[in-house]
Amino acid sequence: MRLLVAEDHPKLARSIADGLREEGYSVDLTMDGNEAGHLLSANQYDCVVLDIMLPGKEGWDILNEARGRGNRAPVLCLTARDTPEDRVRGLDLGADDYLIKPFDWSELVARVRALIRRAHGQASTLLRIGDLEINTLSKSVRRAGNPITLSAREYALLHYLALRAGQVVSRTDVWEHLYDQEEELSSNVVDVYIGYLRNKIDKPFDVKLIHTRRGHGYMLAAAGENES
């Protein structure tokens, strides 16, 4: 999952970004309002953590413009202002959630998780594809009841495919959603990680869940949805 964190307090911004990266997210970080606006229009984020009081351009304006362009990325507003008027304004402008500074770290992470889940139409924290179970809270994966150990990258890839289960996901999509802008990537990095995942998820089992659509991308789907 790829997140954008826009926060102008440098220490707070770094802590949030570091913390979210440790949670397995790819994080783009900016401390400037204008840059936040550009990043938001250039990339597809799974969630945006947006401080309202940003130098250059206020969070309200960024939000307003992004929604005006049809950007539907879930936005969690972060602010030290807690008057009801502020909250109402934020939610009316298209914020999906609102968190007052100072906040509990676990709450921020839980809200980000919930926003991503809801954006993909998932109500539960447990994803099921055939006999594959992904617990998004504990980040544990089981297939046919057997626990499977995945690296953070592998898990992130599987999680993303699972959220879009039954749909073909292009390499670019995967790229966009799993890697932040700072990372140097080789062109076949997605294929390499798909290979790792196949080894762990599909190889020991008869029914394959990860499917390749040549020229289009990959799809995670249970057996029955396989034949499209």
For another protein, the binding residues (CB under 8 A) are 8-12, 15-16, 18-19, 22, 53-55, 80-83, 100-106, 108
Contacts of 149 (CB under 8 A, 6+ apart): 200
DSSP, residue by residue, 1-44: -EEEEE-SSHHHHHHHHHHHHHTT-EEEEES-HHHHHHHHHHS-
Compare residues 108 and 197 and give the one whose CB is closer to another protein. 108
Compare residues 59 and 130 and give the one whose CB is closer to another protein. 59
CB of 224 to another protein, least distance (A): 40
Beta bridge partners of 48: 4, 75
Q: Cα–Cα distance between 210 and 161 in angstroms, integer? A: 9
Compare residues 9 and 211 and give the one whose CB is closer to another protein. 9
CB of 105 to another protein, least distance (A): 4
Place of tokens 């990095």: 189
Compare residues 136 and 173 and give the one whose CB is closer to another protein. 136
Count how many Cα atoms sit within 13 Å of the Cα of residue 45 in the half-sphere of its side chain. Answer: 30
Compare residues 22 and 183 and give the one whose CB is closer to another protein. 22
CB of 12 to another protein, least distance (A): 4
CB of 21 to another protein, least distance (A): 10
CB of 47 to another protein, least distance (A): 17
First to last CA, the chain: 27
- The 3-state DSSP class for residue 128 equals strand
Q: Cα–Cα distance between 75 and 60 in angstroms, integer? A: 11
Compare residues 106 and 228 and give the one whose CB is closer to another protein. 106
- Going by C-alpha positions, the residue among 2, 49, 44 that lies closest to residue 30 is 49
The tokens of 119 are what?
């954006």
CB of 6 to another protein, least distance (A): 13
